[in-house]
């Protein structure tokens, strides 16, 4: 059932920000939200949503130079955080937090040095998110190293994707007049 009166895109300005919101024409739920800072003139964030549940799927924030600052990934059913990836200002991977999709509590945090090697890994209690133990990067098994490398590669792919999304969103912002 499509509602022909529902716009699939809306633009407005609020508190010094220009917001471009995309909507699903069937469910009328948001699918994407682009936030542009009008004061400092940079793209602040892009959030994508599941059109059926209206929960966040991914939230990317950018620094004022257009590089991803952090990326948060969410469970589309519960809306809880599943992964949080942050980057140093010079685009190097800083840390990856893996979270319990039921509670958003951290399960594992991997911190990286600027040269890309693991500084340390912190593990947390699954139920409450309390710190249980920390393991330095050099004392890991081959299986753990392989798993950590896969996670690191996914984080770097997310970074590259976020840069492309930034370019597309910036182009959309520049071609979209405000509705006010």
Q: What is the pLDDT of residues 25-48, one digit of tens each?
A: 988 999 999 999 888 888 899 999
18-54 in b/e burial notation, b at 16+ Cβ within 10 A?
bbbbbbbeebeebbbbbbbeeeeeebbbbbbbbbeee
pLDDT band at 3 (very low <50, low <70, confident <90, very high): low
CA neighbor of 67 nearest in space, from 144, 165, 174: 165
- What is the per-residue pLDDT for 135? 64
pTM (two decimals): 0.77
- Angle 11-75-18 (CA atoms, 0-180°, nearest 5)? 15
Q: What is the DSSP secondary-structure string of 108-158?
A: EEEEE-TTSSEEEEEEE-TTT--EEEEEETTS--HHHHHHHHHHHHHHHHH
- What is the per-residue pLDDT for 40? 80
pLDDT band at 127 (very low <50, low <70, confident <90, very high): low
- What is the per-residue pLDDT for 67? 85
159 pLDDT above the threshold of 80:
no
Residue 12 φ then ψ, to 5°: -155, 160
């Amino acid at each position: 059932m499509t509602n022909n009166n529902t716009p699939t895109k809306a633009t407005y300005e609020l508190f010094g920000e220009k917001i471009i919101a995309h909507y699903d024409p069937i469910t009328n739920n948001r699918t994407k939200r682009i936030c542009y800072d009008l004061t400092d003139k940079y793209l602040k964030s892009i959030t994508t949503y599941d059109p059926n549940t209206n929960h966040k799927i991914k939230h990317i924030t950018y620094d004022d130079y257009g590089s991803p600052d952090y990326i948060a990934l969410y469970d589309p059913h519960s809306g809880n955080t599943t992964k949080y990836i942050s980057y140093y200002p010079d685009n190097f991977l800083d840390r990856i937090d893996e979270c319990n999709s039921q509670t958003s509590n951290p399960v594992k945090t991997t911190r990286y040095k600027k040269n890309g090697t693991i500084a340390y890994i912190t593990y947390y209690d699954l139920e409450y998110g309390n710190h249980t133990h920390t393991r330095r990067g050099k004392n890991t098994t081959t299986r753990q190293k392989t798993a950590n490398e896969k996670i690191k590669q996914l984080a770097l792919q997310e970074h590259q994707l976020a840069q492309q999304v930034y370019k597309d969103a910036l182009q959309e912002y520049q071609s979209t007049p405000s509705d006010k």
